[in-house]
Amino acid sequence: MTITVSSDYKTSKGSLNNIIDGNRTSYWGAQDAQTAGKSITFSFSGPVTFKGMTAVSGSANGTQILKGTLLQVSRDGSSWKDVGSFDGQLTSMISGINEHRVIAVRILWNSGNNKRLAFYEAGLDYSEEYAYRKVDGIWIPIQAAYRKRAAGWVETKDLSDIQNENLIERGTE
């Protein structure tokens, strides 16, 4: 997974990877205030089923929290769908989402709160999808998968079988 921020969002402290390092004492700090249009994007290496996010932000005095933000998902990296918003708490959770073929998740500020952000941890709840492959920049469903058996390569077109197997061990068509 890679993390990027919009070009107008500058770092004051820490690495962006602190947001997903599993350590709630390290954080990424913004240099400037949270304002409409700024964003933090989490990009996956392949399609996932996205289920939700828990975000830990804020300073000891209760400021510098995620506030005025939308949680969005994208299947193509350019069009976005709103799936929730953060409530301005030190720990905020958005769950119950079941979006398939997601390649990126974004936190987008739709309003400002004149506070810089201290973002400690983002727990993204997702599962990888193995029944897609990228062709000419577009993710398409795998039509069939093959597995090596004693008698040779055996083909399956059963989607659940394809999703439950490790595609690295076989070819795709």
What is residue 161's predicted lDDT score, i.e. its pLDDT?
A: 59
Instruction: Say which residue the tokens 């997903």 belong to.
Output: 20
More confident position, 151 or 89: 89
What is residue 46's predicted lDDT score, i.e. its pLDDT?
A: 81
- Give mean pLDDT, residues 57-83: 91
Task: Indicate the pLDDT class of residue 159, thresholds 50, 70 and 90.
Answer: low
Task: Indicate the pLDDT class of residue 53, thresholds 50, 70 and 90.
Answer: very high
DSSP string, 70-114: EEEEESSSSS-EEEEEEES-SEEEE----EEEEEEEEEEESS--S
Task: Indicate the pLDDT class of residue 54, thresholds 50, 70 and 90.
Answer: very high
- Of 59, 114, 53, nearest to 87 (Cα)? 53
Beta bridge partners of 87: 67
pTM: 0.77
Query: From residue 56, how far is each of 27, 30, 43, 106, 115 by CA, in Å?
Result: 10, 15, 19, 15, 16
Q: Tell me the C-alpha distance between 25 and 9, whole Å.
A: 22
Task: Indicate the pLDDT class of residue 23, thresholds 50, 70 and 90.
Answer: very high
pLDDT in tens, 38-50: 999 999 988 889 9
Reading the block at residue 144, the tokens are 């069939």
- Give mean pLDDT, residues 5-15: 88
Q: Tell me the C-alpha distance between 9 and 19, whole Å.
A: 15
Task: Indicate the pLDDT class of residue 7, thresholds 50, 70 and 90.
Answer: confident
Residues 3/90, Cβ–Cβ less than 8 Å? no
For the chain, the average pLDDT equals 84
Query: From residue 143, how far is each of 87, 105, 128, 170 by CA, in Å?
Result: 42, 27, 18, 13
Cα 104 from chain centroid? 5
Whether the pLDDT of residue 26 is over 90: the answer is: yes
Strand 67-74 to 81-87 pairing: antiparallel
